[in-house]
Structure 1
């Protein structure tokens, strides 16, 4: 279970965010704070895994305490200043969510954080470069735009599932035959996944010498 510290100067907003967190499987709120000083104190006593940190706190800006909290931080604030976003990321925030937002958006960020945490579990010891890449990709998976207009989320999910299950790279023809869809349709969805960075694309040269694109899932362990 991932413990979350909710930090917001408005107690009503903190309650709303806490309810959002409580609805996400695998997460629980361990405490709420309304000032920077209180957040620092609770971080020591409660030892949360991650804090949802507002920047507009009455005693000092949230970005000034990111490094002192001793846990991962997701900025959750109405401060949309580009300078603040850069400062937060520079200070170590893993992600930045601008208020207002709905429960679904925060849930997506939290689930992405959970995947990131599993891939970079400190108990695992050394990690390879591909492992780092997968963790970073996982962390920002929820930041990606929705399925392009004209594409079906169901078909996109089925194409992704085929690539995940495959033991070797697949071509558009392979995917089309397995799913019973047109090759052109498979190609569009595969190209979209490649543009998002979710699959790796390479070339395969057949007996005729004409290269053919082949695709493999880039997020192993997901």
Structure 2
């Protein structure tokens, strides 16, 4: 994506909100906005800042995040300690894209945000989509995507895959720069993804005659 996805964190604990903001800012392509500590502040921030995504707690000083969820016309994920089944079902019924229980690691949130980025990329490619695209977008929301071989992908492997924009081809060095890893690491994960069929390899011949491997998403050139 050409611009960062703006994320509003709604949590009444300032220290927790600041920690989660640091988690968000550590993920390429995401930018944490100034957190909101109440439902009233959240509504004001959504109206004035127009975030792409809200990370919402259930327990807020002036009301329930679940009630606020029904009022928000913006993509929202729940980040909360509320572990009862009713809260989870209510959040799902009211449109939460994900439900992440506190406490969680930076990696857990990173995977969830990358899943959201995948979801956005799939749906943002075209104005009109078919049923297959809808189902693909829905599956993309689940963090820790499973490969076609049934093997669970690591966070870095998922990040490498997500760095490949549809319709584009990249060298291992370019992927390494986009993800923030070494070229050797990018090359290793690209090879694994190619073995799974998630990535295809093309050869491009330069002026020296030595072919360069280029990587892309199959069927999206």
Q: What band does the TM-score fall into relative to the shorter chain?
A: 0.5 to 0.7
How far does residue 159 in structure 1 lie from its aligned partner after superposition? Answer: 4.8
Q: 1:98 Cα deviation (Å)?
A: 0.1
The structure with the largest alpha-carbon Rg is 1
The normalised TM-score by structure 2 is 0.67
The answer to whether the aligner puts 1:83 opposite 2:86 as a matched pair is: yes
1:134 aligns with 2:136: yes
Structure 1 runs of 4+ aligned residues shifted over 4 Å read 143-148, 153-159
Tell whether the 8 Å contact from 2:118 to 2:137 is kept in structure 1 after alignment: yes
Farther-moved stretch of structure 1 (91-100 vs 156-165) = 156-165
Paired residue secondary structure (2:34): strand
CA distance in 2 between counterparts of 1:69 and 1:135 reads: 21
Deviation at 1:141, TM superposition (A): 3.8
Aligned residues: 166
In 2, the alpha carbon distance for the partners of 1:77 and 1:83 equals: 13
2:73 to 70, 78, 81: 70
How far, CA to CA, are the matches of 1:13 and 1:2 in structure 2? 21
What pairs with 1:76-115 in structure 2 (closer than 5 Å)?
A: 76-115=79-118
Give the alignment partner of residue 55 of structure 1, picking from 55, 58, 61. Answer: 58
Following the alignment from structure 1 to structure 2, what is the Cα–Cα distance between the partners of residues 13 and 159?
A: 37
**What is the Cα deviation at residue 70 of structure 1?**
1.9
Any idea what the Cα deviations from partners look like across 1:165-213, whole Å, max 9, x if unmatched? Answer: 459xxxxxxxxxxxxxxxxxxxxxxxxxxxxxxxxxxxxxxxxxxxxxx
Q: Counterpart of 2:134 in 1: which secondary structure?
A: helix
Given the alignment, which residue of 40, 65, 70 partners 1:37? 40
**3-state SS of 1:117 partner:** helix
Q: Which moved more, 1:85-94 or 1:128-137?
A: 128-137
TM-score calculated relative to the size of structure 1? 0.67
1:49-85 residue CA offsets vs partner (Å, 9 max, x unmatched)? 0000000001111011113222100100010111100
- 2:123 matched to 1:120? yes
Unpaired segments of 5 or more residues in structure 2? 158-184, 202-217
Counterpart contact for 1:31–1:46, Cα < 8 Å: no
> Structure 1 residues 131, 53: CA separation in 2 closer, same or farther (over 3 Å shift)?
same
Partner of 1:164: 198
* Correspondence for 2:28: 25
Q: 1:28 to 1:112 in 2, by over 3 A?
A: same
* 1:94-137 superposed Cα distances (whole Å, 9 cap, x missing partner): 0000000010000000001001011112x721101110111111
